Chain A
Amino acid sequence: MKTLTKTIILLVVSICFIGCNNSAKSSDSGTTSSDEGRASQKSGQAFIKDEGGTPNALQLAISSEDHTTLVAAVQAAEVENALVNVGPLTVFAPNNAAFAKIDEATLNSLLEPENKSKLAFILTHHVAPANYPIETLKKNATKGRKLYMASGKYLEVTEKDGSMYVDGIKILGTVNVSNGWVHVTESVILPRD
């Protein structure tokens, strides 16, 4: 009899749970997590569909054929949301040729899941939470102002023969994006220590 009672109670409790379930309607899209409190890899500002208008830093990188390695790295490190934030941001974006200068074994090991935090650190070393168009970089060089990067470290800006350099790495071109500036660089900027 005890078992029966237990069974009934259990049954009733489960009915109660079902009946009282006020949980969110299941999401139509399937891929997005309904649990926004803990942003999964596919939620957040980076995944807002936003047609038209000036692209942000991430959208620009994704649309560029010369930055497929950078995009792969950003995705491996799961730092997409940092590149679409309201910022303002200044991103130094090494092109594919820049990544090719790193030996393949090192590069591949960085893309391994266990090295995610190391990769993220290197990538954030390419992002300054500031608005630095090329004119401001020139002023920074003249006035000796360093760039504070999202890695927590600083980059030195110099000007030589009309070109701008960060930590000795040449800037090849500049694009204005909706949340700041993207400067294409000829090499990956590896933190000094």
Chain B
Amino acid sequence: MKTIGKYIMTIATLTILVSCGNSNDGDKSGALTSSKAEKVYVAPGEHDEYYGFMSGGYSGNVTVYGLPSGRMLKEIPVFSQFPTSGYGYSEETKAMLNTSFGFVPWGDAHHPDISQTEGELDGRWIFINENNTPRIARISLETFETEEIIELPNSAGNHASSFVTENTEYIVAGTRFAVPNPQRDMPINEMKGKFKGPLSFVSIADNGRMNLEFQLNMPGFNYDLAHPGRNKSHGWFFFTSYNTEEANTLMEVNASQNDKDYIAAVNWKKIVDYVKNGGGKKVSGTYAHNVYDEKTHSATSTMKEGVISINPKDVEGAVYYIPIPKSPHGCDVDPSGEYIIGSGKLSTDLSVYSFEKMLTAIENKDFVDDAYGIPVLSYENTIAGVVKQPGLGPLHTEFDGKGNAYTTFFISSEVVKWKLGTWEVLDRLPTFYSVGHLMIPGGNSRKPFGKYMVALNKITKDRYLPTGPELEHSAQLYDISGDKMELLSDFPTHGEPHYAAGIRADLIKDKSKKYYDLEENEHPYAAKSESESKVTRDGNEVHINMTMIRSHFSPDNIEGVKVGDKVFFHMTNLEQDFDVPHGFSVIGANTSEILVMPGQTKTIVWEPKREGVWPFYCTDFCSALHQEMQGYVRVSGKNSNTPIKYSLDE
């Protein structure tokens, strides 16, 4: 009987293993002890605990996810035209994409960062940088719309950005590709000592408005990533740099020759005081500053000229270099502000620097060298500790607020958990595959939430059903609340989510805007009621102030438009209810649709090329009679005498 009993137990155990198959590549033992599916399951109608804001990378936008479910909630257009809503196509939003190079329809978004108060996430705005045409954008976390974009002159490759200081005083923008400053025609191979790497400091006003305050005109290395000091190191900013070789070709070899590159430690408060007292020199630099107004529902673009440039040698005690092994990438500061973690991406060790030691070394003038007049501190006298052989290709580190750090390793495709202070490796788990950034909600603030960690991977391969050669990137969600990390789920992300930011949902969701107040609409062509709707001709321009409400347009019959006219459809959504947008499109328009939120006015231009009667319609399934929400425009010949006439249900 004993034998039979054992036999039954064996079969039963096997059954459990088979039927409870929630195991996955990362952790085969956890399946029996807890249900991972339950941890990420958010029942229909329930809300996620966290918002995750993923950079869209080369999509130019930001995608919003719910965590832990991994459900995508929204794509926020930022640096790229977005036909879904008409962003960058509508007359009101084209100005958002204006630059000193003219209209640029696309951008390369990188590092989102949420505004902070006293070092904690406050959920007012999220900022994100653009790498190709250097810019920083500010997105409102009430409307989830891009409200402002500022361009950065004299810079190239805005990668070390858009990290905010702990009271959202400043955002920085580095120069990843050293360039002549000012730009000029010169031989490329004479770059050494002539190119520059300006670091821009942009201030944030109480209402969120950004202003380019000054540029620190650093030597022409490549400034890659940055983080502000926090807590005790508040007032400082730390930037990694590579290519201290100042090579200009076959960089993968020539920029990897020096044994050490530098972390630039910048006392920005000192420089702010210096500028306030009249320091610095105004230099040329043209840049666009684009602001979206929630009342007029329109953006304006102002071209600005000139920026205050600071020579780092001129501000005593403000700028130092710290040596760091092998082409560093990530530069992260722990919640206490004491430790600065530099990830030499070709190094086998992680270097952790001490803020206190750095101050002492500065006080003792413990310099080993100088680089273009900037003092270089000694590695030995600033290092706090080294995490030995943690993995291959360290990139980025975030924190859980419980004394632990989590670092990604690109080459060995893993996240490694280690202890601040003892530098011992506590745990490691594979990611799938080749992880770049990782994100712990609040993980770069004084107070990380420390429950989940998301790994943002560059390579997808076989993670999901194949979709041809092009695959969305993959993300993995880990539970980091216990001693060991636990891989919970795997979901695709849109574009390339270089970095992400996360915040507890309750800090944002209750103030999320539901619709725009029609009474506050100050758009010059708004029709706030059907009686205000009208059609007016001004030369060959025809302005149609049209209203939208379930389920008709007013007017919906228009005559008197001629071939060669420029017709402006100014569409006002009269609804005053949550989640009742209307869309608009017209046959032959050489632009996208527009999606108009309740209380909002948006405009598209239509230049009719052929005579006839042409329909327009609502593109958003708004109501039971959505299919009836349509109208006609009669287009007459160029020289016809058809008078302007418009009506609804005449």
Partners in one complex: yes
Measured between alpha carbons, how far is A19 from B19 in the docked complex, in Å?
10
Give which listed residue, A9, A32, A53, A129, contacts B514 with CB less than 8 A. Answer: A53
Is the C-beta of B326 less than 8 angstroms from some C-beta in chain A? no
A-side contacts of B552, CB under 8 Å: 131
Neighbour of B16 across the interface among A12, A25, A131, CB < 8 A? A12
Task: Say whether A22 contacts B8, CB under 8 Å.
Answer: no
Which applies to chain A's interface (DSSP): helix, strand, loop or mixed?
Answer: loop
From known contacts A22-B41, A178-B577, infer whether A8 and B12 are also in contact, taking CB-CB under 8 Å: yes
Contacts of B15 in A (CB 8 A): 12-13, 16
**Which residues of the partner chain A approach B41 to less than 8 Å between Cβ atoms?**
22, 24-25
Residue with the greatest number of chain A CB neighbours at <10 A, chosen from B20, B32, B41, B45:
B45
Partner of A20, one of B8, B20, B43, B577: B20
With contacts A8-B8, A16-B19 taken as known, whether A53 is within 8 angstroms of B578 at the C-beta atoms is: yes
Assembled-state Cα–Cα distance A15/B19 (Å): 12
- The contact size tier of chain B is 35 or more
User: Quick one: closest A residue to B8, CB to CB?
Assistant: A8
Cross-chain contact of A36 among B44, B575, B623, B649 (Cβ < 8 A): B44
Number of interface residues of A (CB under 8 A): 38
Contacts of B578 in A (CB 8 A): 50, 53
Once A53-B578, A129-B625, A178-B577 are accepted as A-B contacts, the answer to whether A19 and B43 lie under 8 Å apart by CB is no
- Residue B622 lies at the interface, judged by CB distance under 8 Å to chain A: yes
**CB–CB B45/A16 < 8 A:** no
Per-residue contact bits, chain B 614-650, to A (CB 8 Å; 1 contact, 0 not): 0000000011110000000000000000000000010
State the Cβ distance, B36 to closest chain A Cβ, in Å. Answer: 9
Cα A17 to Cα B514 in complex, Å, equals 43
Which residues of chain A are within 8 angstroms of B515 by Cβ–Cβ distance? 53
Q: What CA separation (Å) do A21 and B35 show in the bound complex?
A: 8
Q: Judging by beta carbons under 8 Å apart, are A1 and B576 in contact?
A: no
Given contacts A8-B8, A15-B16, A20-B19, contact A88 B623 (CB under 8 A): yes
Residues of chain B in range 567-586 having any CB-CB distance to chain A below 8 Å = 575-580
Interface check A94, CB cutoff 8 A: no
The reply to whether A53 and B1 form a contact with Cβ atoms under 8 Å apart is: no
B16 and A53 within 8 A (CB): no
- The residues in A between 1 and 30 inclusive whose CB is less than 8 angstroms from any CB of B are 1, 4-5, 8-9, 12-13, 15-16, 19-22, 24-25, 27
Give residues of chain B (45-75) contacting chain A, Cβ–Cβ below 8 Å.
45-46
The answer to whether B623 and A178 have CB atoms under 8 Å apart is no
* B12 pairs with A12, CB closer than 8 A: yes
Chain A residues with Cβ below 8 Å from B625 are 88, 129-131
Given contacts A25-B43, A136-B649, contact A1 B577 (CB under 8 A): no
- From A22, A24, A50, A86, B550 is in contact (CB under 8 Å) with A86
- CB-CB under 8 A from B32, the residues of chain A are 19
Report yes or no: B514 in contact with A131, Cβ–Cβ below 8 A: no
Closest B residue to A177 using CB positions: B577
Inter-chain CA distance A131–B46, complex, in Å, is: 32
Q: Does B4 contact A (CB under 8 A)?
A: yes
Q: Does A139 contact B (CB under 8 A)?
A: yes
Q: Does B549 contact A (CB under 8 A)?
A: yes
A37 to B16: give the CA distance in the assembly, Å.
29
Query: A13–B12 Cα gap in the complex (Å)?
Result: 8
| Residues of chain B with a CB closer than 8 A to A87's CB | 550, 623-624
| Contact digits for A115-150, partner B, Cβ 8 Å, 1 yes 0 no | 000000000000001110000100100000000000
Q: Does B551 touch A at the CB level, under 8 Å?
A: yes
Is the beta-carbon distance between B550 and A131 smaller than 8 angstroms? yes
Complex Cα–Cα for A13 and B579 (A): 47
Interface contact B4-A1, CB-CB below 8 Å: yes
Q: Does A152 count as interface, using CB distance less than 8 angstroms?
A: no
User: Closest residue to B40 on the A side, CB-wise?
Assistant: A22
Inter-chain contacts of A37 with B (CB < 8 A): 44
Instruction: Confirm or deny: A185 has a beta carbon within 8 angstroms of a beta carbon on chain B.
Output: no
A24 to B541, CA, bound (A): 58
Q: Is A162 an interface residue (CB 8 A)?
A: no
Contact B577 A131 (CB under 8 A): no
**Is the pair B43, A34 in contact by a Cβ cutoff of 8 Å?**
yes
Which among A1, A12, A43 has the greatest number of chain B C-beta atoms within 10 A? Answer: A12
A86 with B12: CB separation less than 8 A: no
* Chain B interface residues toward A at CB < 8 A: 1, 4-5, 8-9, 12, 15-16, 19-20, 32, 35, 37-38, 41, 43-46, 514-515, 549-552, 575-580, 622-625, 649
5 cross-chain CB contacts under 8 A: A9-B8, A16-B20, A50-B578, A131-B549, A131-B625
List 20 other contacts, CB 8 Å, given A16-B20, A130-B551: A1-B4, A16-B12, A16-B19, A20-B19, A21-B38, A25-B41, A36-B45, A37-B44, A50-B578, A53-B577, A53-B578, A86-B550, A86-B622, A86-B623, A88-B623, A129-B624, A130-B625, A131-B549, A131-B552, A179-B577
| Those 5 A-B pairs whose CB atoms lie nearest each other, nearest first | A88-B550, A24-B43, A178-B577, A12-B12, A22-B37
